[in-house]
Structure 1
Amino acid sequence: MNFFKRLVTPMAFTFLSCSAIAAPTSAEVDALKAEFMKTQTEKGFEPDEISQFIANAEYNQAVIDAMTKPWEAKPWHQYYPIFLTEKRLDKGLAFWNEHADLIAKASKEFNVDPQIIVAIIGIETFYGGYMGNYPVKDALYTLGFHYPPRAKFFRSEFANLQSLVKEERLDINNLKGSYAGAMGFGQFIPSSYRHYAVDFDNDGKRDLLNSKADAIGSVANYFHQHGWQKGQPVTLQLTLNKDLPDNLKTWSGERLHYKVADILSPEVALAESMDLDVSQPAMLVKLEQADHDEYWLGLKNFYVITRYNRSPLYAMAVYQFSQELKKAYVTQ
């Protein structure tokens, strides 16, 4: 089957090359560490345990290299073969069949479509096959103290990691994840782990590293908490009668500010006619094919997927994969 041929290329992403980032000086790093010490002390940690927590983390250049060349920066023809494969679909169908009761329970309890739960775990880690080999403490330390463009965010995640390890009694020295410090079957960063993880197998702990049940429930809860609308459309292809009107801007990561009615017009129409609430929030997504541009109407559910990963490329891949999973599950 070549059902993934209809997947499309998203708008270009920009990223900073290694050479474009000025490394902080030793004095600047020391100042950041002092600030971190103060913040964590105010949260109730003892100075000695904070110092030890920092001292146990090491700088990792490979993390910086990966961050400056993310997969989402690749063109679609290089990106989609990584994720959208027959092998992943087969693995996803097997995962769904094996955990059908848990997935159905999570879908009902959190009001999230089951295929989205299965798709996320498949796209993120190939159902636990690739959960990352970067030491989480090193990744977050490196980005939090040595990557100025997003240092504040990752220092916050480094702080959340210290709390998470204490709360969930995790072995920090053997905690592996992505270059951005995401962990487990669903690749939760520490703040997401703390705020959205659930004990779905009722064994008294929230274990996203080893428990598939907890991972399934936690992904469902994440989507629920971000406003997923079960059974509602996610994204719809548009047709343009001529050039995009000057008053419309394509989505670039901001909060939804358009309504459907702001986007649809005689010049910009749905590729397939359907009844649609034109007062609902929406975005306009530009997807670049090799020889032309496509435009898509992203609805609230599409925006929710981007809360997991802000790339519209990622959101489209998750959505399309989820649709193929649903088709395969229903027709098996």
Structure 2
Amino acid sequence: MIFLAHISQRLSLGLALLMFGGCANQAEKPLASTQGSSTPTIQAAPSQPKKTAPTIHAQTSVGGYHANSVSGDYAGYQSVNRFIDEMVQKHGFDRAYLNGLFSQAKRKQWTLDYLAKSDKSLKSKPSQGSWSRYRAKFLDSRHINSGVSFWREHRLALQRASKQYGVPAEYILGIMAVETTFGSYVGSHRVIDALTTLSFDYQRRGEYFRGELENFLLMSRSEHINPAKPVGSFAGAMGLGQFMPSSFLEWAVDFNADGHRDLWDPEDSIGSVANYFSQHGWQPGKPVVSPLRGNLSAASNMEPGLDNLYSINSLQKAGLLPAIDCHCDDPLRLIWLRHNSNDEYLLGYPNFYVITRYNHSTHYAMAVHELAKAIKSAYSSSASR
């Protein structure tokens, strides 16, 4: 998904980090000595409420792992042993199998150190030019041209997804462009290492990641995957669209009908991103954002952000209106973008909010939106030649 060179660029997006918030606390002290492990990587994880899959018994886990107790980096972690107890009792996993698997897991000290720094940096308000800098990382020829090439190669799958889920092809591509540049880098961390580290050594968000670890083991078993093999982001996000395991279980689809949901497969990723948008309330044919018209100075006295909703009537009272009239009655959100030389205010429709369900960041959603438009324009131009 993202190289170390991309780290500050991607995590400043807040894909995973806006979800985490706060500093890494001191890790649990193991009862026996452990060896640390330090490895860089990157990513963003869709921010979801914890989803727990149904209990699954009588399925064979893949990998042949077996041990009487956990050894290696997580030897002596009482929290790991408690987690194994829960997986045995709740989902029928074999204890010796999980002991063997977690004996393979590596503690990613780099991840913990990076989160401790990045969490602090995300507490401040947007600085002058923050949107210009963010935008420049994605609105470039590499992302746009890759999108055009991917659209040509997977045109039929994109058409089918758009028809089935009501999501325009360009917005599916916008997600993949920002997340992994269409699979050019999907991450280099083993997911088992990433999720184990964040489950048992990142106390600020440990409960969330233990839920994701639980879902990852269920996903691996149901899809007959060796859980030590998949690689993804440092936060455990996977595939071209960087789904967390809970998102996989809830929204991933077998779009190529081969009997498996595979987020590293382009067709399954296309269908899964489209399904994610659809299930989160995408409104076919409706706008995403609109410029403002009227008394623009009034916008600076209003509260921007995803948590503040404005009706058309309240906007009218402030002397503001959307520059486009879609006959929408839904509440709108004020988007504040800080360019190098000026501040810009836009209105976000419900479809804009749907994009932020993938990543709770207005910058992220705007990058997806603008890339979607740019890729569509470039694709249309190339098709007309």
TM-score relative to the length of structure 1:
0.84
Residue 37 in 1 paired to residue 84 in 2? yes
Residue 182 in 1 paired to residue 237 in 2? yes
For residues 312-323 of structure 1, the aligned pairs below 5 Å read 312-323=362-373
Deviates more, 1:298-307 or 1:282-291: 282-291
Residue 267 in 1 paired to residue 316 in 2? no
Q: Percent identity?
A: 34
* Superposition CA RMSD, Å: 3.0
Gaps of 5+ in 2: 1-11, 32-75
For residues 103-182 of structure 1, the aligned pairs below 5 Å read 103-182=158-237
**Which residue matches 1:219?**
273
The code of the aligned residue for 2:29 comes to S
Residue 21 in 1 paired to residue 24 in 2? yes
More helix by share: 1
Quote how far apart the aligned CAs of 1:63 are: 1.9
Deviates more, 1:42-51 or 1:112-121: 42-51
The code of the aligned residue for 1:259 comes to S
Within 2, Cα distance between the matches of 1:213 and 1:263?
42
Quote how far apart the aligned CAs of 1:140 are: 1.0
TM-score relative to the length of structure 2:
0.74
Preserved contact between residue 242 and residue 267 of structure 1 (Cα < 8 Å): no
Cα 1:274–1:175, aligned 2, differ >3 Å: closer, same or farther?
same
Quote how far apart the aligned CAs of 1:182 are: 0.7
Cα 1:280–1:58, aligned 2, differ >3 Å: closer, same or farther?
same
**Which residue matches 2:303?**
249
Quote how far apart the aligned CAs of 1:221 are: 0.9
Preserved contact between residue 67 and residue 179 of structure 1 (Cα < 8 Å): no
**SS across alignment from 1:296:** strand
**SS across alignment from 2:325:** coil
Gaps of 5+ in 1: 1-10
Cα 1:235–1:45, aligned 2, differ >3 Å: closer, same or farther?
same
**Which residue matches 2:96?**
48
Q: Deviations over 1:149-200 (max 9, x none)?
A: 2211111111111111111122322211111111111111111111111111
**Which residue matches 2:140?**
85
The code of the aligned residue for 2:311 comes to K
Quote how far apart the aligned CAs of 1:257 are: 4.8
Within 2, Cα distance between the matches of 1:288 and 1:173?
43
1:202 counterpart (257, 262, 277): 257
**SS across alignment from 1:174:** coil
Within 1, Cα distance between the matches of 2:226 and 2:141?
35
Within 2, Cα distance between the matches of 1:294 and 1:81?
16
Residue 234 in 1 paired to residue 288 in 2? yes
Within 2, Cα distance between the matches of 1:208 and 1:117?
14
Cα 1:234–1:54, aligned 2, differ >3 Å: closer, same or farther?
same
Quote how far apart the aligned CAs of 1:236 are: 1.4
